[in-house]
Amino acid sequence: MSDILLDVRGLDIAFFGMAGQRSVRDVSLTIARGETVSIVGESGSGKSVSMRAIMGLLPDSAYVSGSAKFLGQELIGASTATLRSLTGSRIAMIFQDPLTALNPLLSIGDQISEAIRIHNRDVSRREARERALQLLRDVAIPFPEKRLDQYPHEFSGGMRQRVVIAIAIANKPDLIIADEPTTALDVTVQAEVLDLLRRLCRQNGTGLALITHDLGVVAGMAERVYVMYAGSIVEAALVDDIFERPAHPYTRGLLRSLPKMKDQAKRLEDIGGTPPTAASLPTGCAFHPRCSFATDVCRKETPRLNSYGRSIAACHLGGSLPAFEKEIETA
């Protein structure tokens, strides 16, 4: 099991004042060394919150229970000193909005150097600067010597996200958690940044937890996918299976609501209704009010994760669902 980088088991998160309702319920997932795993879900499905809990970034009003082991070391409930020594060096995080994730008053070089020197006290300022320069080259920023002394406002969004990536990889972490790294970027820039991220992770053998709601990104990047709905994992599968044989009705809904090239005239399909909040969770399966296959069992009993082929899914109907019709693209 030494191959397992991150092993999350039964993660529960509740926030103060939410009357015992949990925002994240019984989430278990693993990430192996060098593997890219995607966590997909709508806003509020708990994907960001669970990753932040692992990094110890949640406010004091959050109650976190369960277990998250990083290379065998427990992170949930670990002391701030332990977390501080891991975060930034062994586990790095890339934030959604590169416009705000950099300190506007420090030069890019200073910020990268700081990330290096926090975890390596013996590195001199000059060495750190040299390494920062190399990192800027690694993330393909043109004229790195000039750029090193510039400030975030002198960079475009895509360039800033490259800088954020440079900071994340500064200490060659084992795991990078990327929280919607391209949501704030242009589509064309998005592709470049994702390419870069994928290349760097392959090069360094870094595990990548990619939080996203963009299935296009998932298809291009991930090896395995966890689909989250209303705070729980509803399906876990290899990326090909997610697109070919989605086992959970919610995953199917997600796939069906992707815009299709062929029939632009048709109205975009959606999943009816809105996702429940942690405070108004329905009984039984959290998805049943929006599910077209729902039966009486779904309304009463909470489904557990079961395996269906190579995937696991939390659905009572699992095997008995009609085969998923991939949109037939005829000329």
Partner 1 sequence: MSASAPLIARRPRTKWFWSVLPGYFGFTIISFWIVAALTARFWIPYSPFDTVGSRLTPPSFDHLFGTDALGRDVFSRTMAGALYSIPIAFVVVTIGAFIGCVLGAFAGFVGGWRSAVVMRLVDITLSFPPMLLAMAVAASFGPGLTTAAAAMIIVWWPLYARLMQAQVLSVIRMEHVEAAIASGVRPGRLLLRHILPLCWTPILVNATMDFGQVVLLAASLSFIGLGAAPPAPEWGAMVSDGAVNYYFWWIAAAPGVAILSVVLALNFIGDRVRDILDPRKHQS
User: Hunting for tokens 């949109």 — which residue is that?
Assistant: 327
Is residue 64 involved in binding partner 1 (CB under 8 A)? Answer: no
Give the residue with the Cβ less far from partner 1, 204 or 295: 204
Q: In whole angstroms, give the CA distance from residue 113 to residue 76.
A: 29
97-136 burial, b at 16+ Cβ within 10 Å, e below that, comes to bbbebbeeeebbbbbbbbbbbebeeebeeeebbebbbebb
Give the residue with the Cβ less far from partner 1, 24 or 167: 167
Is residue 82 involved in binding partner 1 (CB under 8 A)? Answer: no
Give the residue with the Cβ less far from partner 1, 78 or 118: 118
CA angle, residues 176, 130, 107, in degrees to nearest 5:
75
Is residue 114 involved in binding partner 1 (CB under 8 A)? Answer: yes
Is residue 17 involved in binding partner 1 (CB under 8 A)? Answer: no
183, β-bridge pairs: none
Give the residue with the Cβ less far from partner 1, 116 or 313: 116
Tokens of residue 192, six digits:
């470049």
Please state the closest distance from residue 93 (CB atom) to partner 1, in A: 4
> Which amino acid makes up residue 82?
T
Please state the closest distance from residue 110 (CB atom) to partner 1, in A: 9
Per-position x/- string for 305-324, each x denoting binding to partner 1 as judged by CB under 8 A, each - no binding: --------------------
Give the residue with the Cβ less far from partner 1, 208 or 313: 208
Is residue 87 involved in binding partner 1 (CB under 8 A)? Answer: yes
Q: Which of 6, 92, 163, 278 binds partner 1 (CB under 8 A)?
A: 92
Q: In whole angstroms, give the CA distance from residue 148 to residue 128.
A: 12
Is residue 69 involved in binding partner 1 (CB under 8 A)? Answer: no
CB 93 within 8 A of CB 168: yes
Q: In whole angstroms, give the CA distance from residue 86 to residue 136.
A: 23
DSSP track, 103-138: -TTS-HHHHHHHHHHHH-TT--HHHHHHHHHHHHHH
Is residue 176 involved in binding partner 1 (CB under 8 A)? Answer: no
Is residue 164 involved in binding partner 1 (CB under 8 A)? Answer: yes
Would you say how long the chain is, in residues? 331
Give the residue with the Cβ less far from partner 1, 62 or 219: 62
Q: In whole angstroms, give the CA distance from residue 128 to residue 110.
A: 9
**Residues with Cβ < 8 Å from 100, sequence gap 6 or more?**
none
Is residue 151 involved in binding partner 1 (CB under 8 A)? Answer: no
Stretch that binds partner 1, among 93-101, 198-206, 251-259, 275-283 (CB under 8 A): 93-101
Is residue 210 involved in binding partner 1 (CB under 8 A)? Answer: no
Positions touching partner 1 (CB under 8 A) are 55, 57, 60, 84-89, 92-93, 95-97, 100-106, 114-115, 118-119, 164, 167
